[in-house]
């Protein structure tokens, strides 16, 4: 197995202290948003054999296993991250596989440069993802029931929100959500900024269920995404709890640190809380206008101590082992590729000692045994 040397991405919303604290290093004063573990070309992990992209490219079947190559092609299908949000991320959705393929092909045909700020599709893959909390973690996930949202908005006493309240109460669910989100995203910018300011003052005054949206407005004053965010469920995860974000589900992470895993893609369509490009027509094509609970996941324990976060996705499978002091070793050998990440304590993976924040890549069929006292996350695929 290969010890991984991973890149930390300094996005502006990152916490300056959370990842350094996990790694046991001094903060730099700069935001430390995400640490990437995998073979994404944007920031591949490094090993003594070269980058993980180079390692996989040299012999895909040896590194990934014949089953994974047959199903997903000669590339590592997932990207594992540690994510540390010190400020809210943009409100966003991800396309399904067919939408990503169509969108990527269209932008390629039109000659839109891959690095163009108005480009929507960086690749032809979908990007389902799972976030598992390491600390208390706040987020927005999926549309709230329209009638509950109508009550939330009505309680603000903002006249310019009354038409949205009426739509949410009068229409069938899908139509109501579509019409209100469309109206918010296409409203006159000056009028919307005034509405956001009034709504922010009311949220700050009322607190309670309104408090998360006042916090958003503090980071993004006047942003129409503050009103769009009020259509979504607010959820607070406790350590060990998780959220699965499938295609078309609007979401945003607000604060906290977690382990995130996703299909190996960078396709994001934004709908607010960002200075970046917002393509309203394409966004509305991708969003699923379905209300429901946020769907908090808790791991399902197996007899061997593995705790699995079940999702409907084959490109990744995330689980964890909480290893007690003096416990027995666990054989984790699989015929698929794995990344093992220590998040607490001290874990031994094969001949390598792992401290919090350290990780290894385990090729398919490579002997993988873990022991020690701590927590280790296991990322692999389903074939």
Catalytic residue flag (residue 270): yes
Within a 10 A sphere around the Cβ of 117, how many other Cβ atoms? 7
Distance CA 92, CA 262 (A): 15
- Kindly state the tokens that stand for 278: 């917002």
- Kindly state the tokens that stand for 256: 């906290």
- Kindly state the tokens that stand for 219: 């980071």
Burial grade of 310 (CB within 10 A; 0-12, 13-18, 19 or more) = middle
Within a 10 A sphere around the Cβ of 70, how many other Cβ atoms? 11
Distance CA 319, CA 378 (A): 5
Catalytic residue among 46, 75, 270, 317: 270
To 10 degrees, the CA torsion angle through 156, 159, 164, 167?
A: 110
Q: State in Å, rounded, how far the first CA of the chain is from the last one.
A: 21
Which residue bears the tokens 């001949």? 351
- Kindly state the tokens that stand for 218: 């503090």
In angstroms, what CA-CA distances link 198 with 9, 187, 203, 221, 369?
Answer: 35, 16, 9, 11, 57
Query: At residue 380, what are phi and psi to the nearest 5 degrees?
Result: -150, -165
Distance CA 145, CA 335 (A): 43
Confirm if 140 and 233 have CB atoms less than 8 A apart.
Answer: yes
Confirm if 345 and 375 have CB atoms less than 8 A apart.
Answer: yes
Instruction: Write out the catalytic residue numbers.
Output: 270
């Amino acid at each position: 197995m290969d010890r991984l040397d991973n890149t930390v991405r300094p996005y502006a919303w990152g916490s300056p202290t959370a990842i350094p604290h996990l790694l046991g290093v001094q903060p730099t004063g700069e935001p430390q948003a995400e640490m990437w573990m995998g073979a994404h070309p944007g920031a591949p992990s490094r090993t003594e054999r070269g980058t993980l992209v180079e390692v996989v490219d040299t012999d895909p079947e040896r590194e990934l296993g014949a089953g994974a190559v047959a199903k997903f092609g000669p590339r590592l299908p997932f990207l594992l991250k540690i994510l540390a949000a010190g400020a809210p991320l943009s409100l966003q959705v991800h396309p399904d596989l067919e939408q990503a393929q169509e969108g990527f092909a269209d932008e390629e045909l039109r000659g839109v440069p891959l690095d163009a700020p108005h480009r929507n599709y960086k690749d032809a893959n979908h990007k389902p993802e799972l976030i598992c909390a390491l600390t208390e973690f706040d987020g927005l996930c999926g549309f709230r029931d329209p009638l509950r949202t109508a009550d939330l908005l009505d309680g603000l006493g903002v006249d310019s929100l009354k038409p949205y309240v009426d739509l949410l109460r009068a229409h069938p669910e899908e139509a109501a959500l579509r019409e209100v989100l469309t109206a918010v995203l296409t409203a006159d910018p000056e009028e919307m900024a005034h509405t956001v300011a009034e709504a922010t003052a009311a949220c700050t005054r009322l607190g309670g269920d309104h408090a998360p949206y006042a916090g958003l407005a503090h980071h993004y004053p006047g942003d129409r995404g503050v009103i769009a965010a009020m259509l979504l469920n607010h959820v607070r995860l406790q350590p060990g709890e998780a959220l699965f974000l499938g295609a078309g589900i609007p979401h945003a992470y607000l604060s906290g640190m977690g382990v995130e895993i996703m299909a190996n893609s960078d396709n994001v369509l934004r709908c607010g809380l960002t200075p970046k490009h917002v393509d309203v027509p394409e966004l509305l094509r991708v969003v699923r206008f379905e209300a429901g609970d946020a769907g908090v996941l808790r791991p399902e324990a197996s007899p061997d101590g593995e705790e699995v976060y079940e999702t409907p996705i084959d490109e990744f499978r995330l689980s964890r082992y909480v290893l007690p002091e003096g416990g027995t070793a666990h054989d984790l050998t699989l015929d698929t590729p794995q990344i093992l990440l220590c998040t607490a304590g001290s874990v031994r993976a094969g001949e390598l000692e792992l401290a919090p924040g350290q990780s290894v890549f385990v090729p398919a069929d490579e002997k993988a045994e873990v022991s020690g006292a701590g927590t280790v996350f296991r990322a692999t695929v389903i074939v």
